[in-house]
Amino acid sequence: MLTGKNIIANTVSGEGKVYHAINPASGGELQTGFHEATQEETDKAIALASVAFGEYRNKSAAEKANFLQAIGDEIIALGDDLIRRCMEETGLPEARLTGERGRTVNQLKHFANLLLEGSWVNARIDTAEPDRKPLPRPDIRSMLKPLGPVGVFGASNFPLAFSVAGGDTASALAAGCTVVFKAHPAHPGTCELVGTAIQRAVHKTGMPAGTFSMLHGKSTAVGMAIVKHPSITAIGFTGSFRGGKAIFDEANKRSRPIPVYAEMGSTNPVFILPGALKERMEAIAQDLAASVTLGAGQFCTNPGMVFVQRSAEEEKFSTTLSNRITESNAGTMLTPDMLANYKKGVERLQQSRGVQLAATGKNGASGQASANLLKTSVSAFLSDHSLEEEVFGPSTLAVLANDKSELLNAVEKLGGHLTATLHATDDDLKEYTDLIEKLEQKVGRLIINGYPTGVEVCHAMVHGGPYPSTTDSRTTSVGSSAITRFTRPVCYQNFPDALLPDALKHQNPLGILRFVNGGWKKE
């Protein structure tokens, strides 16, 4: 059923060398050889994306919304074949993948609705003042416009929701950009299925053929060829720090540098404050262990550091957390490499001075990772910056502070993270406003009495954060605000009404909210 070919606009092509996907549970090769894109195929896909952009950028909001909905419909129409292949390629369970498919389709709908609402274009109008002294003021209007063809890299840990038709593709297409997608070599069959679904949606809704292409590649060469191509205007990426940083550096070396939105993960510190510890130590230990081991810990928001102050309650908490981790089942990791890296990461932590292994979860089958709890002190933490680096998988590092001031000192030294979480009573929150204040300067999302895993797709979500969690803290990769990442403002001075984009026309034919002469208006 699978062809193993690259999707180049409305055709497929497979000229390059072949690789196979690996079943991470068995370690065996899966059916169908996938052709790495050649430089010619890459150039062709991007040239067609450039041509298509000239037409696609002018599609109406309704047309683009219809297209996004159609992608969702085509994904659903793939039926169980998609889930089956995805399970084989990723080791993720069926329930998780059907849930993730729902999320993927919902993301597309979310952006479709945003387009239909229409105000996201940030229409601004300052009308002419012909009689102003000393000089007349011309009519000036501006709105967001799409950047151009965008290169998107899929994430291994969300083979549907952050892959071919995932968040970055959806937001780029919604913004009016065409997309050249780099398929993830860990789930190329899943990519092909979803890629052909998009290809069908392009055809059925009358979008220009080059609106979407998808290129396979196991090495980094294909991805880097996309990043370097002069017609590519922005990059969306979710993955490792190493991968994201390499793309960021390459993009800045171009003769025309381009924005890179690389979400590179983080360690997502959790703080358990004294009152909460006293009040519900058991429940927190239980839920935290569940959050650490959820999906074999393979989330960007996995809580990889837990800060607690030493006390009698802390000792009980640590014991309970150790027990929960010890009891936890092993989970299949997405790829054999990731499992190897996870083991190396836990090893690295253990070898740092002052870090002890406190608990290890149950052993699993081949390809599975056991959970790990490690433990250290703030002083040891501060003397080894690498302890803050993400270990991708089901482990967490408990960092014990002697007192509040030591805790604040540790926070002061933290780098950028996607999230920070506090478990706190009302009294704790009153007493720890300085902690919250400091954390707000370190992360994209603050959570009180919850868990960082589970990133809601909504308008207010910020899935991003200061470097090194991302290369650009000014945006989000989840939620409707992501659409602005692939746009820039364009200003129209003294334009006749007929020539203005509909969003800026005098009569406001789209009925969107606009900032007119300093006030918000829907008329």
Q: Could you list the active site residues? A: 263, 300
Which of 215, 411 has the CB closer to its own copies? Answer: 411
Instruction: Report the chain's C-alpha Rg in angstroms.
Output: 25
Of residues 148-167, those binding its own copies (CB under 8 A)? 148
Which of 322, 487 has the CB closer to its own copies? Answer: 487
Question: Given the rule CB under 8 A, which of 129-137, 152-160, 163-171, 284-292 is the region that contacts its own copies?
Answer: 129-137
Handedness of CA 105, 107, 110, 115 (dihedral sign): negative
Tokens coding 190: 């899943």
Of residues 254-283, those binding its own copies (CB under 8 A)? 256-257, 259
Candidates 106, 311, 356, 493: give the one binding its own copies (CB under 8 A). Answer: 493
Tokens coding 496: 């006749």
Which of 113, 220 has the CB closer to its own copies? Answer: 113
Within 10 angstroms of residue 153's Cβ, the number of other Cβ atoms is: 23
Site string for its own copies, 70-109 (x = CB under 8 A): -----------------------------x----------
**Closest separation between CB of residue 478 and its own copies, Å?**
10
Least Cα distance to 244 among 440, 40, 465 occurs for: 465
Is residue 125 a contact residue for its own copies (CB under 8 A)?
yes
Question: Given the rule CB under 8 A, which of 9-17, 79-87, 175-183, 484-492 is the region that contacts its own copies?
Answer: 484-492
Site string for its own copies, 164-203 (x = CB under 8 A): ----------------------------------------
**Closest separation between CB of residue 493 and its own copies, Å?**
4
Taking the chain, what is the end-to-end CA distance rounded to the nearest angstrom?
A: 53
**Closest separation between CB of residue 363 and its own copies, Å?**
30
Is residue 385 a contact residue for its own copies (CB under 8 A)?
no
Question: Given the rule CB under 8 A, which of 120-128, 277-285, 306-314, 329-337 is the region that contacts its own copies?
Answer: 120-128
Candidates 141, 187, 375, 417: give the one binding its own copies (CB under 8 A). Answer: 141
Q: Alpha carbon 440 to chain centroid distance?
A: 20
**φ and ψ at 150, to 5 degrees?**
-115, 140
Which of 15, 437 has the CB closer to its own copies? Answer: 437
Is residue 471 a contact residue for its own copies (CB under 8 A)?
yes
DSSP annotation of 329: P
For residue 468, is the peptide bond before it cis, meaning its omega torsion is within 30 degrees of 0? yes
Q: Which residues contact 470 (CB under 8 A, 6 or more apart)?
A: 244, 261, 262, 263, 264, 416, 418, 444, 464, 477
Which residues make beta-bridge pairs with 234? 150
Q: Which residues contact 125 (CB under 8 A, 6 or more apart)?
A: 140, 141, 504, 514, 515, 516, 517
Of residues 289-318, those binding its own copies (CB under 8 A)? none
Beta-sheet pairing, 11-13 with 6-8: antiparallel
| Interface with its own copies: number of residues (CB under 8 A) | 78
| Length of the chain measured in residues | 523
Is residue 327 a contact residue for its own copies (CB under 8 A)?
no
Of residues 440-469, those binding its own copies (CB under 8 A)? 440-441, 443-450, 454, 456, 458-462, 464, 466-468
Amino acid, res. 61:
A
Least Cα distance to 494 among 141, 161, 248 occurs for: 141
Is residue 362 a contact residue for its own copies (CB under 8 A)?
no
